[in-house]
A and B are shown apart, each in its own frame.
Chain A
Amino acid sequence: MLRRKTFRGGAHPPEEKDLTENKKIETMPLPEKVIIPLQQHIGSPAEPIVQKGDSVKTGQPVGKCNSFVSVPPHASISGTVTAVEPRPHPLGTDVLSVVIESDGNDKWVSSIKFDKDYMKLSVDDMKNRIQKAGLAGMGGAAFPTHVKLSPPKDKPVDIFILNGAECEPYLTSDHRLMLERTDEILKGLKIIMKILNLKRAIIGIEKNKQDAIKIMRAKTASTKSISVVSLNVKYPQGAEKQLIKALTGREVPPGKLPMDVGCLVHNVGTSLAIYDAVSSNKPLIERVVTVTGPGIKTPKNLLVRIGTPFKNLIDFCGGYSETAGKLINGGPMMGISQVTDEVPVIKGTSGILVLGKKDSDLKPEGVCICCARCVDVCPMRIMPNHIATYVEYGRYDEARSMGLLDCIECGTCSFICPAKRNLVHWIKFGKAQYNKIANEAS
């Protein structure tokens, strides 16, 4: 079936991936201390099960979950717990965290060992291992993986999609994983397909990663159930709903999930972590982070322990250059701007981006000239200019009728606006106000 493999809208911010796309993943030396937040995922936070003074081993759980939509965090180094207190978190507020000072030995818990019969495990056992390992989506959203892999019976899934798009500029961690850890990613994919009982999976990779496409195609050549599709480079092709649209033509309805159209999506990094968890009981305690940007002296792709402060990674990359102005957790389009570099790497930190001073000034917002570029590029087909104007005037119900709650905050509209209006900021504010009013009313 000949269908254009893309979605309507989107833009082309400069890719800037040449800073790190050819750099092999380097393993960082162990940090002296790690800060493990008890909430690094969507859902309810974990409760601490260690206290100050306890000694912990690498891979030991430090929190327990009280609900299904939750994952436990684990110690990512061995050592002593020096504090269990609120600490700055990359997603904004201070979060209760377990601070561990390293003993330099990196002693792992004994339950972590390779089980060569892992594919013979039952589906429930596999999901159990995934939950105990504390897996959450590593593309950035950090949704608990075991929950995603348990769609209700009335929502059958027939297509699984592995997300290798990595559409954010600057970020290359998924690219390097696809090149260097191809086998483990594909083994994770096989586990996913067994859990979901699927006959068909698609791996979507953007065209700017030709080497990754080649190697993935070569390794899946003998498996007819897995196809590798090369996607046009356009932001935000890696956004879940847009990826599903481009690869299958299906559109997830507003307010609903991919399983409502029979699809499920996981990031390539999550697939790798699934393989580690199911085959070896290894918890999620490390990940690949791209440290990059004009504000970093030597950009690199690093394999780091969860909980390592950003400062450590930046120092390992030569430190800040003179032009450093803004520190971002994630990519330039959807990343969160940071107040301090003492925040830890969390499960969803795919990149640390330092932008220069001249990119950091907040230019004054102009007036909307109704040029409609934002309407043309919006991947959700809503009207950002009207939404933002209504929010500005406090008319949240009308903003909602223009699509306020359907916005995925991808940033394409703000990027393209010639009047430099901070559309996404207005929309985020509008959503918060709308929900506040809705909660007060109920």
Chain B
Amino acid sequence: MDKSFFISSSPHIKDRDSVPKIMYWVVLSLLPAGAGAVYLFGVRVIWVISISVASAMLTELVCQLIMKRPVGVFDGSAIITGILLAYNLPPEVPLWLPAIGSFVGITVGKMAFGGLGYNPMNPALIGRAFLMASWPINMTVFKTIPAGGTLSGIDALTTATPLNVFKHSREILIHGSEFSTEKVTEAAQAISQLYGSSGNLFLGKVGGCIGETSVLLLLIGAFILMYKRIIGWKIPFSYIGTVALLTWIFGGTEGMFTGNPLFHILSGGLILGAFFMATDMVTTPVTFKGRLIFGTGCGILTVIIRLWGGYPEGVSYSILLMNLTTPLLDRYTKPKVFGGK
């Protein structure tokens, strides 16, 4: 029998999972938070997300054509970048903002390095950092009152996210002698109000960026990803754990060990960042110890920025900075080879 056989190296069977499958599961797990955002902030959210995703995909397609690389725009990674960028924006941003943000994130953050798998930093966060530096006012105006909730505290008109109020009030309380007694009392009230609104924070009925407020819906998505073993526990838990510990020690207004870790975990983009952005596979270490160090590093940087830095929120920058340490961490945390010392 003159039969010709196909030849290749072992192994000859492969698991059924694939890169697009993984990416689309991530997209799916981000949808609950998106749906929640539509309920909380209105239908406009759909426009922001759609334009962000469309811009990301179109930019990637054009780049791949110009660079003469295989077109892989439907593998899901550009969609994730678009969604994550939109989730990091206030609900009332002008629609050209996500378009530009996705464009910058995909070109500078990803395609300039060769595309998926080659980028050193999280593309969505690159886009966000660019927007923050270029249009700081548009990026920090939170006028939309979430459905069924209230904008807490002092300045109900322009910068009323919980972390903003916290930073402002904490400054007043720490430097109490420089302010009038009314202001100090107001600040103390604001802080205790924040500490008492865990319910609202958990459900998302507070001011903030589109995808970061509803902790409940984000956790549902995160649970799905952990069950499917697409993300692990090491980075999110070391990240959140470090933030909790450090904010308890340093985040209080009455001296050390008086902080409220629960408030810090539930507010800002921490849950979104810890489960969906700090776990981006391409830009994080592959080793066990490397991942723990990465998460802890993000936690430390986030707390430093939140408590002592110029911005109320530190998640994006801490992740971007730790992304840069990934190759170093991989090299110095190699697992001990089987039988090695």
* Residues of A that sit less than 8 Å from B by CB: 11, 13-14, 169, 241, 245, 251-254, 256, 311, 320, 324-328, 332-341, 353, 355, 357, 359-363, 366-372, 375, 379-383, 385-386, 402-403, 406, 409, 411-412, 414-420, 422, 424-425, 428
Contact = CB atoms under 8 A, between A and B. Distances in A.
B6 A375 contact: no
Most-contacted residue by chain A among B14, B334, B340 (CB, 10 A): B14
B340 A320 contact: no
A139 to B, nearest CB: 16
A183 B98 CA distance: 74
Given A251-B339, A256-B339, A337-B7, A326 B12 contact: yes
A337 B117 CA distance: 30
Contacts, number: 159
A29 to B, nearest CB: 19
Given A251-B338, A355-B12, A418-B19, A326 B6 contact: yes
B311 interface: no
A40 to B, nearest CB: 19
B292 interface: no
B335 A424 contact: no
A341 B2 CA distance: 9
Interface in B1-51: 1, 3, 5-15, 17-19, 21-22
Contact of A415 (B6, B15, B282): B15
B19 A328 contact: no
B198 interface: no
Contacts of B11: 332-334, 411-412, 414-415, 424
B10 A13 contact: no
B260 interface: no
Contacts of B336: 381
B340 A415 contact: no
Contacts of A251: 338-339
A327 B1 CA distance: 14
Given A335-B10, A402-B334, A341 B15 contact: no
Contacts of A328: 12
A420 B18 contact: yes
A251 B340 CA distance: 8
12 contacts: A251-B339, A252-B338, A326-B5, A327-B5, A333-B11, A337-B10, A369-B117, A370-B283, A382-B337, A403-B334, A406-B337, A411-B11
Interface of B: 1, 3, 5-15, 17-19, 21-22, 115-118, 281-284, 286-287, 330, 334-341
Nearest to B11: A411
A409 B339 CA distance: 17
Contacts of A385: 286
A346 B22 CA distance: 42
A369 B282 contact: yes
Given A254-B340, A326-B12, A375 B281 contact: no
**Residue from A256, A418, A428 with most neighbouring chain B CB atoms (10 Å):** A418
Nearest to B287: A375
List the 4 closest pairs (A to B, CB-CB), nearest first: A411-B11, A367-B117, A425-B9, A372-B286
A367 B18 contact: no
A370 B118 CA distance: 10
Contact of B13 (A311, A366, A403, A415): A415
A422 B282 CA distance: 19
Contacts of A337: 5-10, 12
B317 to A, nearest CB: 22
A146 B334 CA distance: 38
B286 A383 contact: yes
A149 B335 CA distance: 33
A254 B1 CA distance: 45
Nearest to A389: B117
B235 to A, nearest CB: 11
A175 to B, nearest CB: 19
B22 A418 contact: yes
Question: Helix, strand, loop or mixed for chain B's interface?
Answer: loop
Contact of A381 (B115, B337, B341): B337
Given A370-B282, A383-B286, A418 B10 contact: no
A11 B339 CA distance: 20
B74 to A, nearest CB: 13
Nearest to A250: B339
B339 A13 contact: no
A386 B9 CA distance: 19
Contacts of A169: 13
Given A372-B287, A375-B286, A416-B15, 16 more contacts: A337-B8, A340-B5, A360-B6, A360-B12, A362-B6, A369-B281, A375-B287, A381-B335, A381-B336, A381-B338, A386-B330, A403-B334, A415-B13, A415-B15, A424-B9, A425-B8
B115 A367 contact: yes
B12 A254 contact: no
A379 B17 CA distance: 20
A311 B1 contact: yes
A408 to B, nearest CB: 9
Contacts of B283: 370
A392 B186 CA distance: 63
Given A251-B339, A252-B339, A341-B1, A383 B10 contact: no
Contacts of B334: 383, 402-403
B72 to A, nearest CB: 9
A253 B339 contact: yes
A97 B287 CA distance: 48
B3 A335 contact: no
A337 B118 CA distance: 33
B64 to A, nearest CB: 13
B228 to A, nearest CB: 12
B5 A13 contact: no
B18 A320 contact: no
B15 A13 contact: yes
A385 to B, nearest CB: 7
Given A367-B118, A415-B15, A379 B10 contact: no
B287 A339 contact: no
Given A337-B8, A370-B282, A385-B286, A253 B340 contact: yes
The residue in B13, B118, B282, B341 that gathers the most chain A C-beta atoms within 10 A of its C-beta is B13
Nearest to B118: A367
Contacts of A362: 6, 8
Nearest to A372: B286
Given A332-B11, A369-B117, A419 B337 contact: no
Given A367-B115, A370-B286, A418-B18, A359 B1 contact: no
B9 A379 contact: no
Contacts of B341: 253
With most chain A CB atoms within 10 A of its CB, the pick from B9, B11, B330, B334 is B11
Contacts of A372: 281, 286-287
B338 A415 contact: no
A235 to B, nearest CB: 10
Contacts of B19: 366, 369, 418-419
A241 B339 contact: yes
Contacts of A406: 337-338
